[in-house]
Each structure stands twice: as C-alpha cells, then as structure tokens.
Amino acid sequence: METESPKKPLPEKFKEKGGINQYARYSSLAFQMIAAILIGLWLGMKTDQWLNLKYPVFTAIFILLFIFASLYLLIRSLPKS
C-alpha cells in the first residue's frame, strides 16, 4: 500500500515574481548556450576535417563565434532594470 507524501511548500525564492517561470527560463538559457557551443564545436571539427587542416583553426573560431552569439542573445533577453 502506497502512502502519499505531503507536498512540500515552495521555497521563498520561487514565490517572488513568478519564480518558477523565471527559474525555468534562465535554466533553459544555459542549456541553449551549451547546445550552441556544441554545434560550434561540431561545425568547426567538420570544417577542419573537410579542409584537412593540421591545426583546429575553424573549431576555435566557430566555438568563440557561437559563445559570443549566445552571450549576445542572453544579454538581450535579460529584463531592463
């Protein structure tokens, strides 16, 4: 026989200004940044393989490019205070 555990109250930080929605929004931004960096890594590696380069030049370029693009989008999405 299963017993249901009582629901725990939300922490105070989630009760302020739509806390759960804000938490979900910003945690999803972290996953988007990780995905963008991984796409830049993959794209750079494929380009370096295609051009048969000795050093991973395009890997570094694409990773940095995607990091800057992710940071730009992150800053644009922050609320203006």
Within its chain, how far is the Cα of 29 from the centroid?
Answer: 4
pLDDT digit string, tens, across residues 10-67: 566 555 555 677 777 778 888 988 999 999 999 999 999 999 999 999 999 999 999 9
Helices and strands: H and E segment counts in the chain: 3, 0
Q: What is the DSSP string of 44-66?
A: HHHHHHHHT-SS-HHHHHHHHHH
pTM of the model: 0.67
What is the structure's pLDDT at 4?
A: 62
Top-ranked range on mean pLDDT: pick from 1-10, 44-53, 67-76: 44-53
Cα–Cα distance between 60 and 62 in angstroms, integer?
Answer: 6
Which of 74, 80, 79 has the alpha carbon at shortest distance from 31? 74
